[in-house]
A and B are shown apart, each in its own frame.
Chain A
Amino acid sequence: MNSEFTCGQCRDALPDYVADTLAHTVRPLVERHLDGCDACQHEYAQWRTLADLTHQADAQTPEASVQSTASTW
C-alpha cells in the first residue's frame, strides 16, 4: 500500500492512466501506488486488457478514405 495515494484514488484514475490521458502530475502517484499494491495491479491489468481489446476491435472498422471524400467539400 502507498500512504500518499489510496486504492480508491488509484482505481479512479486507472482508465485515464491506461488511456494515457491522465494529468502528468498524477501519473507518478499512480505508478508508485501500483508498484506496491497487488490488488490495484490486478485491476490495472484488466483495464489494459479492455483497452487492448477495444483497439483491436476498432481496427476492424472500415476505414474512411480521407482523400477521396474530403475533395467533395
Chain B
Amino acid sequence: MEMGDFLKTINTKNEVVAIEKTNDYTRLYGLSLSEEDCQIILKDKIDTLKNEERFEFGQSIIPKLIFTFCDSAYIYQENYVETIGRLVEIFYLYKNESMDLVNDEELIDIMKGYFEDICQGSLDYLEDTCLEDFARDMRRDGRVFLGGEYGRDI
C-alpha cells in the first residue's frame, strides 16, 4: 500500500460520540446535532483532510470548533451543520496556507475573532479575504506575536 493511500484510510473512531457530546453544552445556545448531522460533519472533515492532504493524529478538531463558535450570534440551528462543516474546511485550508506556523487554538481564535467582528458571520468573507490576508502575512513575516492585530484579542 502506498503511504499516501494509507494515510487517507486513517479513520476517526468514536468521533461521532465526541461530537454528539458537545450537545450537552451547545443546548445552552439552542444548538444541537443529531447522529446523522454528526456523520455529515465527519464526512465533510474526512473529505477536507483528503483534499488538503493532511493527516490527523490527535483529538478531533470538530468539538473544539463547536465549543468556540457555538456562542456566536451568527450561528443558529438552521445553519449550524453547514457552518461547522465550512469552518472545518476553512480551518484545514488555512493550516496549510499559513504553513503550520500557527497552532490549532490560535487559528481557531483568529477565525472566531474575524467571524464575529469584521466578517459579521460571513464565511465567504472570512475565507477569501480576512484569512487570506492573515496567511499572506504569516508567509511573509513568519511566526509573529498574534495578539491584537488579528481578529479579536487573543
A and B: bona fide binding partners: no
